[in-house]
Amino acid sequence: MNVSVNFCGIDFPNPTVIASGYLGVTGASLANCVRNGAGGVTGKTLFMDPRPGHPNPTILTFPGGLINAVGLCGEGIRKAKHEFEKYRELAPENPIIGSIGGKNLKELVEVAEIMNTYPVDMLELNFSCPNVDDEMGRPIACDPSMTAEATKAIRKVVTKPISVKLSPNVPNIGLIAKTAEAAGADAITAVNTMGPGMLIDPKLRRPILANKVGGVSGQALKPIAVRCVYDVYKAVQIPIIATGGITNGRDALEMILAGGSLLGIGSALLSHDMACFTMIVDKIRDYMKEEGFTDISELVGLAHEI
């Protein structure tokens, strides 16, 4: 049973990849995930300069998942270089995706140029965080022409494969994916968190997050994410990193059948710890054996066949 995936020319030993944001960019903790079964990892989105993010509380759980308003905090791309080098040293066989952001197009292009020189296998363009609108305006991935402009500008300066990370908070994600593909994207990551959402404390009679609103992830996002992956697969020829609420083997299979080649896993890390990678890959193998498939690529997009 072959569960390895060649994605944009890069070999992943299995389809599971840590979604951006969960373990920052610390080389040792990202490498610990592959030691526990992840096929590859994605670093947290980096901007040019350090960012404090939003004030606490920034992450809450609720019965359907998580809501977060971390606000893209981080140390800035220059300081993070040694963490990518450390990861490479500790996990030479498992690909790493460098995620980038920018306050504006000029910064995005500059950060992309720097990330392109780091020891990462591909870049992910975070065009879709739903909890920094007050600072940066509407996410790029909510608008086809902004998606085209930003993807084209980054394509010009980046030699490595790029995946454009899309938002579920749009009426037609297929159209945005098509636009990114036409502008030079090699892959699509679908999706970022949805919302923003809000949770209120009835005793305090106030929103609980200091930022009031945050992006929703985990199981509540899964059916939306499956539909987004399905729509993106229908719209483009480039491969997809399917992300959003994957918690168990069944979720993973749904995402693959909808059209995902790689599986971004985030919130499950918090609810199921590091065991989730092996558990998911074992379940995919069991399914392949039971259903008579020998290579995982045979499953991708099968839900589209009538």
Ligand X SMILES: Cc1cc2nc3c(=O)[nH]c(=O)nc-3n(C[C@H](O)[C@H](O)[C@H](O)COP(=O)(O)O)c2cc1C
- C-alpha to C-alpha distance for 297 and 81, rounded to whole angstroms: 33
Segment near ligand X (CB under 6 A); pick from 18-26, 47-55, 77-85, 140-148: 18-26
Instruction: Give 221 or 299: the residue with its C-beta nearer to ligand X.
Output: 221
- C-alpha to C-alpha distance for 116 and 132, rounded to whole angstroms: 25
From the CB of 168, what's the least distance to ligand X, in Å? 9
**Residue 20 found at the interface with ligand X (CB under 6 A):** yes
- C-alpha to C-alpha distance for 3 and 17, rounded to whole angstroms: 13
With contact defined as beta carbons under 8 Å apart, do 6 and 186 qualify? no
Q: HSE, CB side, 13 Å, CA atoms: give it for residue 281.
A: 24
3-state secondary structure (DSSP) of residue 158:
coil
With contact defined as beta carbons under 8 Å apart, do 208 and 57 qualify? yes
**Residue 66 found at the interface with ligand X (CB under 6 A):** yes
3-state secondary structure (DSSP) of residue 126:
strand
**Residue 99 found at the interface with ligand X (CB under 6 A):** yes
| From candidates 267, 277, 296, 301, binder to ligand X by CB under 6 A | 267
Instruction: Give 209 or 221: the residue with its C-beta nearer to ligand X.
Output: 221
Instruction: Give 19 or 296: the residue with its C-beta nearer to ligand X.
Output: 19
- C-alpha to C-alpha distance for 120 and 270, rounded to whole angstroms: 25
From the CB of 65, what's the least distance to ligand X, in Å? 6
From the CB of 206, what's the least distance to ligand X, in Å? 21
Segment near ligand X (CB under 6 A); pick from 9-17, 66-74, 79-87, 276-284: 66-74
Question: 28-32 — which CB contacts under 8 Å span 24+ positions?
Answer: 28/86, 28/87, 28/90, 30/83, 30/87, 30/91, 30/96, 31/86, 31/87, 31/90, 31/91, 32/274
* Contact map string, positions 167 to 196, toward ligand X, x by CB under 6 A: -------------------------xx---
Catalytic residues: 129
| From candidates 246, 255, 258, 300, binder to ligand X by CB under 6 A | 246
Segment near ligand X (CB under 6 A); pick from 3-11, 19-27, 113-121, 282-290: 19-27
Segment near ligand X (CB under 6 A); pick from 13-21, 76-84, 149-157, 197-205: 13-21
Size, binding site for ligand X by CB under 6 A = 26
DSSP string, 11-44: EESSSEEEPTTSSTT-HHHHHHHHHTT-SBEEPP
With contact defined as beta carbons under 8 Å apart, do 297 and 268 qualify? no
Instruction: Say which amino acid occupies 257.
Output: L
| From candidates 15, 218, 249, 259, binder to ligand X by CB under 6 A | 218
| From candidates 179, 266, 299, 300, binder to ligand X by CB under 6 A | 266
Instruction: Give 144 or 195: the residue with its C-beta nearer to ligand X.
Output: 195
From the CB of 248, what's the least distance to ligand X, in Å? 12
Q: HSE, CB side, 13 Å, CA atoms: give it for residue 76.
A: 8
The encoded tokens of residue 32 equal: 């610990």
- C-alpha to C-alpha distance for 209 and 206, rounded to whole angstroms: 9
With contact defined as beta carbons under 8 Å apart, do 56 and 1 qualify? no
Segment near ligand X (CB under 6 A); pick from 16-24, 112-120, 144-152, 286-294: 16-24
Binding interface with ligand X (CB under 6 A): 19-21, 44-45, 59, 66, 68, 70, 72, 99, 126, 165, 192-193, 217-218, 221, 243-246, 265-268
